Structure 1
Amino acid sequence: MIRHLVLFKLDEGVARDDPRVVEGVRAFRALGDRIEELRSWECDWNISERPNAYDFAINSAVDDADALKRYIEHPAHQAGVALWREFATWVVADYEI
């Protein structure tokens, strides 16, 4: 099994209630029910206010590298990524569990 973690940082001056952000969050929250490769799916706003904290996180799991590839290439995932590119940057970590 592979754990897939993503941490998002909103661009300077972009707020959580920005309509683009609201739509991006909606798109990502829906992925857990739309992509069969996902074995677990969590995403939400970070509650930490530390200066080095990211703003939003995804914590998910898939069976293997092929399932991760299918998830990444899934049209619903790609649509969500396209939204987030407009207002955020992110870092990714994938590791075996």
Structure 2
Amino acid sequence: MIRHLVLFKLNEGVARDEARVAAGVKAFEELDGLVPELRFWECAWNITDRPIAYDFAINSAVEDADALKRYLEHPAHQAAAAQWREFATWVIADYPF
């Protein structure tokens, strides 16, 4: 199994309650059950408020590297990520477990 972690930082001046941000969150929430490669899926806002903290996180798992590739290329994932590109930056980590 591969864990796929993504941490998002909203761009300067972007608020969580903006309509485009809410739409981006909804797009990620809907990936659960939509993308067959996902074995585990959760996403949520960070509840801490520290200068080094990111704002939103995805914690997911797929079976193997091929499944990760299919997930990343899935049209629903691509569409959701495209929304977030408009208002956030992110970092990822993929590791076996």
* Distance in 2, Cα, partners of 1:19 & 1:33: 24
Whichever structure has more helix as a proportion of its residues is: 1
1:17 aligns to what SS in structure 2?
A: coil
Alignment identity in percent? 73
Ranges of 4+ aligned residues in structure 1 off by more than 2 Å = none
Aligned counterpart, 1:9: 9
Q: What are structure 2's unaligned runs of at least 5 residues?
A: none
Deviations 1:14-67 (A, max 9, x none): 000111100000000000110010000000000010110000000000000000
Q: What are structure 1's unaligned runs of at least 5 residues?
A: none
Aligned length: 97
TM-score (norm 2): 0.99
Aligned counterpart, 2:87: 87
* Distance in 1, Cα, partners of 2:54 & 2:74: 25
1:33 aligns to what SS in structure 2?
A: coil
